[in-house]
């Protein structure tokens, strides 16, 4: 298939692009490089542009069979401080992207959604039937786009897969691409940077949650596993599959203390850290029921937590060579 990948120069997008290519698909990356990186696109055709530029997107859609949409603003904390940015980028520009798609022959669309659409879950593990009640503008913007896809499915026959990620982590096993954000907000790279001394000691938010060891519990999923799920989803739609919403996680909750212990095991070094007050609204536990993705898409996570941390550690040690 010939696939347009928006945001393919970002963290998850760049890994999905490699999984798509390995499966024999032809990829065109479309990215404005505001948060993406040209180096993550090396070896692939890249068109630099914004998803809100309908004319430019329409030209890129000619001859394509499907769209996979990663391009978005994606920091929960920032979304609270700058909601206008999130509704402008994720909703307003996203709808312009959909306008371009509807004006084309493409009727298969894979969307990078998030578990943030669920908010504070009423039960665990989180299934796709869990009420979606986002508690921040980021989650709300992603949920709005899911609603738009559902409406366009009915009105225009746009079949879609909304893939709700849990905590993406790790790096490509060959070490060529990985996680590089500025600022970095994710636990595992921050822990590894603390080990290397390239960042200050790690701040762990909260130690008195109602969890087995008092720290937050999350579902960490390897970024290449997320990439392979997008391959499964786009092929499922190409084979006539109906629209689907699916959680992408391991189904296992891991506490922050367990992550730090794994980092110390992999690196052989202690993680300098301190406990600070919990962030307002942080749920104690979030982890997926990934059964629908397994049953319908034939997908399941392959990497263990140790595998996630090991690939991230290899990438982090080589990061200076990647940086400009």
Active-site positions read 138
Tokens of 58: 């329409």
Distance, CA of 307 to CA of 302 (rounded, Å): 9
Peptide bond into 137 cis (omega under 30): no
Q: Which long-range contacts (CB under 8 A, 24 or more apart) does 76-81 make?
A: 76/116, 76/136, 76/138, 76/139, 77/185, 78/138, 79/136, 79/137, 79/138, 79/141, 80/136, 80/137
C-alpha 293: how far from chain center? 15
C-alpha 302: how far from chain center? 17
Distance, CA of 220 to CA of 202 (rounded, Å): 18
């Amino acid at each position: 298939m010939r696939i347009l990948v928006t945001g393919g120069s970002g963290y998850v997008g760049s890994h999905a692009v490699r999984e798509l290519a390995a499966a024999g698909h032809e990829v065109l990356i479309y990215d404005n490089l505001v948060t993406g990186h040209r180096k993550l696109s090396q070896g692939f055709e890249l068109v630099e542009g914004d998803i809100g530029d309908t004319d430019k997107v329409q030209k890129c859609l000619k001859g394509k069979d499907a769209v996979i949409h990663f391009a978005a603003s994606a920091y929960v904390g920032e979304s609270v401080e700058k909601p206008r940015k999130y509704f402008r980028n994720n909703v307003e520009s996203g709808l312009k992207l959909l306008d371009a798609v509807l004006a084309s022959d493409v009727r298969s669309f894979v969307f990078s959604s998030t578990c943030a659409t669920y908010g504070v879950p009423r039960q665990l593990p989180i299934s796709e039937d869990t009420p979606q009640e986002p508690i921040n503008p980021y989650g709300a913007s992603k949920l709005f786009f899911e609603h738009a896809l559902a409406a366009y499915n009915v009105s225009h026959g746009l079949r879609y897969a909304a893939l709700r990620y849990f905590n993406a982590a790790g790096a490509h096993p060959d070490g060529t691409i990985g996680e590089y954000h500025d600022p970095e907000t994710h636990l595992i790279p921050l822990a590894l940077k603390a080990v290397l001394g390239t960042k200050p000691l790690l701040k762990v938010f909260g130690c008195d949650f109602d969890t087995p060891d008092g720290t937050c519990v999350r579902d960490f999923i390897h970024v290449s596993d997320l990439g392979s799920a997008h391959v499964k989803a786009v092929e499922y739609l190409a084979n006539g599959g109906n629209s689907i919403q699916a959680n992408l996680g391991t189904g296992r909750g891991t506490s922050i203390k367990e992550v730090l212990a794994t980092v110390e095991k992999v690196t052989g070094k202690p993680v300098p850290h301190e406990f600070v007050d919990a962030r307002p609204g942080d749920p104690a536990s979030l982890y997926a029921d990934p059964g629908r993705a397994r049953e319908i898409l034939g997908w399941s996570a392959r990497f263990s937590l140790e595998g996630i941390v090991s690939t991230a550690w290899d990438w982090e040690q080589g990061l200076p060579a990647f940086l400009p």
